[in-house]
Amino acid sequence: MEAARLALVRLIPGPELSLTDIFREICRTAANTVGVNRVGIWFLVDERTALRCSVLYERDIDEFSEGTTLSEADFPAYFAALENRRSIPAKRATSNESTHELSAAYLYPLNISSMLDAPIFENGEVIGVVCHEHSGMPREWTLEDRDFAATVSDAISLKIKAAALIEARSALRKHSEITLALNKAESLARLAAGAAHDFRNLLTIILGCAGEIQRTKHLPDDIREMAKQIIEAGERGAALTREMTNYGEREAESPRVVNLTEITDGVVPLLRTAVGPKHQIQFERGALVGKTFIDPIQYERVLMNLVVNARDAMPSGGEISVSIATVDCREAGRSGKYTMLGVSDTGVGMDVQNQSRIFDPYFTTKPRGKGTGLGLAVVKRIVDRAGGSIDVTSAVDHGTTIRVYFPRIACDA
């Protein structure tokens, strides 16, 4: 028994040893040490009205099973004994006051003659029981047996605590890793914004000089062409730095109560001009979409970025559908009413791997000089701050739908 006690103490839950493995090992050790046929660990479930077997070990076949349930309604005296006893030694289980109810349904069919049960406690409350079940001639339980059964039940509750502690620690570690990564991303973005700002000043000079060259009379054609290329590249660079600055700098926002249908109505004509004649924009205006709390300029950025991405996904043209509608919690996967902005295209689509990265800053699949990879990172930040969420549906060559859900704070007056 001494060796078994030591073995129980040494079982520590961890990555290689799950709590279930530990329970199995405890059952096996207990069965061998006490010398019984079966040892089971049961836990109270269904608001303490039932016991479910978590692990059962059968020594003669050296096998484990689980899952049987006993309910309080059928065995009230046994459930009461669990609350009042440190251990329940029953030499003749079929006539013992605490266990006799189990006779017909459990003891006779399983050929159990004697039982030694010890409730399992957590913070002073019974949470289950460990059962040592003996077959054959009725067996007298010694004080040593009873002590050992209590040790087994204490070991079980200690292991449960240890496993919970390990889980809490790893959750904490994960949490601090995420916080660290977020802080890093944010300081990186700020660094990039600072560098972008300085770089834009340099670009201004480059663009100014290249413009001067282009305006000079009597230039050889190739020089003029080069000046034109410098200007084009410089302008692309300037556009990129603008986005980097926007991403890094927390510009002042002024969120207020707005109607997204109205704002979208106002922006769609501009978007039509922006995407050009090869792409059509269909706007489906939902009735009574209610009011949302957001900075309208930020909302326009969201819409603009989604529409531009939809256009880029259909290089040879096509239709972009923009829609606004009210949806209830179930569709949004959250509680309450939401105003949904949907932008769909029938373009190239994305595989699952790319879908998982599209909100990462600087993730882009577009050729050098075309994409910045910041559009959706900006969208995500704006939506997060508005308390909303984003849902992406896409399939390669079958287009993409992005749905943004904004909390609806009021209905239409």
The footprint of Mg ion (CB under 5 A) covers 309, 375
In this complex, which beta carbon is closest to ligand ADP, that of residue 98 or of residue 400? Answer: 400
3-state secondary structure of 211: helix
Q: Tell me which DSSP letter residue 117 carries.
A: E
372 binds, among Mg ion, ligand ADP, none (CB under 5 to 8 A by kind): ligand ADP
293-296: which pairs have CB atoms within 8 A and are 24 or more residues apart?
293/255, 293/256, 293/257, 293/258, 293/386, 293/407, 293/409, 294/255, 294/256, 294/258, 294/260, 294/382, 294/386, 294/406, 295/253, 295/254, 295/255, 295/256, 296/256, 296/258, 296/263
313 binds, among Mg ion, ligand ADP, none (CB under 5 to 8 A by kind): ligand ADP
Are 98 and 135 in contact by the 8 Å Cβ rule? The answer is: no
Distance CA(412)–CA(392), nearest Å, equals: 28
The residue of the chain with the least Cβ separation from ligand ADP equals 375
Minimum distance between the CB of residue 351 and ligand ADP, rounded to whole angstroms?
10
349 binds, among Mg ion, ligand ADP, none (CB under 5 to 8 A by kind): ligand ADP
In this complex, which beta carbon is closest to ligand ADP, that of residue 217 or of residue 368? Answer: 368
According to DSSP H, which parts of 118-142 are helical? none
The residue of the chain with the least Cβ separation from Mg ion equals 375
How many CA atoms within 13 Å lie on the side-chain side of 162? 18
Question: How far is C-alpha 62 from the geometric centre of its chain's CA atoms?
Answer: 39
The separation between the first and the last C-alpha atoms of the chain, rounded to the nearest angstrom, is: 77
310 binds, among ligand ADP, Mg ion, none (CB under 5 to 8 A by kind): ligand ADP
- How are beta strands 291-294 and 318-327 bridged, if at all? unpaired
In this complex, which beta carbon is closest to ligand ADP, that of residue 116 or of residue 358? Answer: 358
Minimum distance between the CB of residue 177 and ligand ADP, rounded to whole angstroms?
24
Residues that bind ligand ADP (CB under 6 A): 305, 309-310, 313, 345, 347-350, 354, 358, 363-366, 371-377, 400
Minimum distance between the CB of residue 303 and Mg ion, rounded to whole angstroms?
12
Minimum distance between the CB of residue 374 and Mg ion, rounded to whole angstroms?
8
366 binds, among ligand ADP, Mg ion, none (CB under 5 to 8 A by kind): ligand ADP
In this complex, which beta carbon is closest to ligand ADP, that of residue 121 or of residue 363? Answer: 363
Hunting for tokens 């957590």 — which residue is that?
122
33 binds, among ligand ADP, Mg ion, none (CB under 5 to 8 A by kind): none
204: left (phi over 0), alpha (psi -120 to 50) or beta: alpha
Hunting for tokens 């050729």 — which residue is that?
367
Minimum distance between the CB of residue 324 and ligand ADP, rounded to whole angstroms?
18
Minimum distance between the CB of residue 193 and ligand ADP, rounded to whole angstroms?
17
Minimum distance between the CB of residue 332 and ligand ADP, rounded to whole angstroms?
20
In this complex, which beta carbon is closest to ligand ADP, that of residue 204 or of residue 356? Answer: 356
Q: How far is CA 38 from CA 32, 57, 99, 132, 240, in A?
A: 10, 6, 16, 6, 71
Minimum distance between the CB of residue 280 and Mg ion, rounded to whole angstroms?
19
Name the nearest CA neighbour of 42 among 67, 62, 9, 6.
67
364 binds, among ligand ADP, Mg ion, none (CB under 5 to 8 A by kind): ligand ADP
354 binds, among Mg ion, ligand ADP, none (CB under 5 to 8 A by kind): ligand ADP
In this complex, which beta carbon is closest to ligand ADP, that of residue 59 or of residue 301? Answer: 301
In this complex, which beta carbon is closest to Mg ion, that of residue 102 or of residue 310? Answer: 310
Distance CA(7)–CA(336), nearest Å, equals: 53
Minimum distance between the CB of residue 264 and ligand ADP, rounded to whole angstroms?
18
In this complex, which beta carbon is closest to Mg ion, that of residue 9 or of residue 239? Answer: 239
Residue 312 token pair: 């880029």
